[in-house]
Amino acid sequence: MNLPKVIADLVTAQNKFDSLAYANCFSETAVVFDEGKTYTGRKAIQEWIDGSNKKYKSVMKPLSIAHEGKTSVLSAECSGTFDGSPIILKFHFDIKDGLIQALKVTG
């Protein structure tokens, strides 16, 4: 599967539980929507993913990617220490200049 570099970097960072490398995949003003909450800015995104990593120990296995206009949608099997693991989630990325501008995680 041919993932855009920044998405491949994000998956690698997630699977290593590297919250700094994960956050560095985003622009300074990026926005993340996950579990009904919004995180704005690289620092907030790093704090969110660090907390999520500690709580869920989630790893991602990319299954497919589709491109819908300016949005790339990654379907990935996510497994970790959460109820229902593993599950398939969709990650909706808006990418500009090699960085993620927005990410929305859906079931």
Domain that holds residue 85: 5-106
Question: What span, in angstroms and rounded, lies between the C-alpha atoms of 79 and 41?
Answer: 26
pLDDT at position 41: 98
Domain count, the chain: 1
pLDDT at position 50: 97
The gap from C-alpha 34 to its chain's centroid, in whole angstroms, comes to 9
* CATH for 40: 3.10.450.50
Question: What span, in angstroms and rounded, lies between the C-alpha atoms of 73 and 51?
Answer: 24
Whether the model clears a pTM of 0.85, i.e. scores above it, the answer is yes
pLDDT digits (tens, 9 = 90+) for 58-95: 999 999 999 988 899 999 999 999 999 999 999 999 99
pLDDT digits (tens, 9 = 90+) for 1-43: 899 999 999 999 999 999 999 999 999 999 999 989 999 999 9
Q: Where are the alpha helices (DSSP H) in 30-105?
A: 42-56
The gap from C-alpha 22 to its chain's centroid, in whole angstroms, comes to 8
